[in-house]
Structure 1
Amino acid sequence: MTKADIVTKITDKTGMEKSDVQAVVESFMKEVRNSLETGENVYLRGFGSFIIKKRAEKTGRNISKNTTIIIPAHNIPSFKPAKTFVESVKKKVKVS
């Protein structure tokens, strides 16, 4: 599902204008991004949390040059689904 699909489904369910729904979806994503960029996690009860994970410095290998490189410590955005969300997906999604 793409962002356009989400906008279309919300438009169909609410009867709102497509441009208004798109603006709301864009604003939501921008606020989540801005919060994470400033170091603030986003918690959506019943859905999940957008959190920042800290990765420690580690040693890696450049296989093509056969050299060791140091990968510096860094932060990455992550999504952790709520327990109820995970359970509902487990019940409804059929494994092929």
Structure 2
Amino acid sequence: MNNKEFVTLLAGRTGMKVSEAQKTMESIISIMGDCFQEGDTVQMANFGTFEVKKKLERIMVSPTTGQRMLVPPKLALTFKPNPTWKDMIKKGGTE
């Protein structure tokens, strides 16, 4: 599903105009982006948790040359789904 399809579905379910649904979607994404920039966790009830985690620096060995390289620390965005969603996906669909 692409963005246009998602926004159209959102508009249909909420009774909004497509343009209003698009603005709402953009606002939500913008707010979430601001939270991630500050390192905050975004927890959505009945959906899951988005969290910025710090990956420590580590030593990596190139498999082709055998050369050791230092990989610098970085921030990574992670998502942990709600257990209900996780179970539904494991079972192959809706219950």
Give the shorter-chain TM-score range: 0.7 to 0.9
Question: Distance between the aligned counterparts of 1:66 and 1:33, measured in 2?
Answer: 38
Structure 1: gaps of 5 or more residues:
none
Question: Distance between the aligned counterparts of 1:87 and 1:34, measured in 2?
Answer: 30
Question: Distance between the aligned counterparts of 1:70 and 1:92, measured in 2?
Answer: 41
**Aligned residues with identical type, % of pairs:** 27
In structure 2, the residue matched to 1:4 is: 4
Question: Distance between the aligned counterparts of 1:13 and 1:89, measured in 2?
Answer: 22
Alignment RMSD, CA only? Answer: 2.0
Q: Which moved more, 1:14-23 or 1:55-64?
A: 55-64
User: What is the number of equivalent residue pairs in this alignment?
Assistant: 94
Amino acid aligned to 2:28: F
Matches within 5 A, 1:17-36: 17-36=17-36
Question: Deviations 1:14-55 (Å, cap 9, x if unpaired)?
Answer: 331111100111111111111011011000111000101221
TM-score under structure 2 length normalisation: 0.84
Moved over 6 A (4+): none
TM-score under structure 1 length normalisation: 0.83
Matches within 5 A, 1:50-89: 50-62=50-62, 67-89=67-89
